[in-house]
Chain A
Amino acid sequence: MRPVIPYVTAALLFGLGVYGVLRRRNAVLVLMAVELMLNAVNLILVTADTAVRAVLPHSGQVFALFVIVLAAAEIGVGLAIVLQLYRLRASVAVDEVPLTEPAESPRTGGAPEPAAVSAAGRDTEVGR
């Protein structure tokens, strides 16, 4: 078995994940690209487990299992945030999220008046 084949696969998948995270506007697609990156890391761990003789056997596979668990937790919280964003602004475009809190309005939590909050958010929005 040539370990370079799965290693190169993993490196290409990681590059694709980075590209997807930076390119996509839809938050769900950004999460999918993050999954690609996590899977690339898993493939590297499993390949290293067979290619490198470690002191503790099967450490790579155990780590891959841990990363899978972390990915499951990440996707749960991430989708909750995405759905909350959709409920707040009726859009999941990540480049329309204002990075600053609207200064003049008190913290209303946003949920009662989404139109007012999004209008105030556009005024103070940075980077557009």
Chain B
Amino acid sequence: MTGADVLLLALGAVAVGAGVLVVTTKHLVRAGLYLVVCLGALAGDYLVLGAELVAWVQVLIYVGAVVVLLLFAVMLTRAPIGASDDLDRPGWPAALIGGGAGLGLTVLLVDAYRWSTVELTGAGAGTAERLGEQIFRSWVLPFEVLSVLLLSALVGAVVLSRPDIGRPGPAPDGVPSQDVDSGGRR
């Protein structure tokens, strides 16, 4: 057990514990905050594993953006402040399938790697410079496809969240809709 192992164990325990709380807590807002703890511990894992850029991107995008978006959604759907009892469905099929997936993957990976050791490649293995070289040399095409995907997700989110686009009939607030796809015939 080296120092890296101890760090990985501690951060992994924090991540799994926070994950358990995310899927079991009865408070919606607390689930989001436990998700922050879980994702932060995973960012620490990435740092230990030498993936600096991935760790900081994780902090930026997940902890910074995704969790804030989720908390916004919690607020916009008027979630109750305290504990709510109607968050869960009956648990045993979920526990069966989830536990089966988790334990099956655990057995598979433990059997594949046993207690073997790998030496960490030291600092500078996953800096922005190295990763940028790889992305813009070997992975340029997926990168560009992803940018198109982000654009289409943006357009899709805008279209979905505006009630006056692509709907026949009057809009909820009484304003006649600007019907883009059917030309306003209906």
What residues of chain A lie closer than 8 Å to B123, measured between beta carbons? none
CA distance in complex: A93, B169 (Å): 27
A93 vs B91: C-alpha distance in the bound complex, in angstroms? 16
Name the residue of chain B whose CB is nearest to the CB of A82: B73
Q: Measured between C-beta atoms, what is the minimum distance from B169 to chain A in Å? A: 6
The interface residues of chain B lying within 8 Å CB-to-CB of A92 are 77
Query: B120 to chain A: closest CB distance in Å?
Result: 5
Could you tell me the distance between the alpha carbons of A3 and B77 in the complex, rounded to whole angstroms? Answer: 41
* A124 CB contacts on chain B under 8 angstroms: none
For chain A, give the interface size range. Answer: 35 or more
Looking at the assembled complex, report how far the CB atom of A36 sits from the nearest CB atom of chain B, in whole angstroms: 5
CB-defined contacts of B83 to chain A, threshold 8 Å: none
Contact B106 A43 (CB under 8 A): no
Q: Give the shortest distance, in Å, between A73 (CB) and chain B (any CB).
A: 4
Known: A8-B110, A17-B23. 14 other contacts (CB 8 A): A2-B116, A7-B109, A14-B102, A16-B19, A19-B99, A28-B74, A35-B35, A39-B39, A42-B58, A57-B134, A77-B153, A80-B157, A92-B77, A112-B169
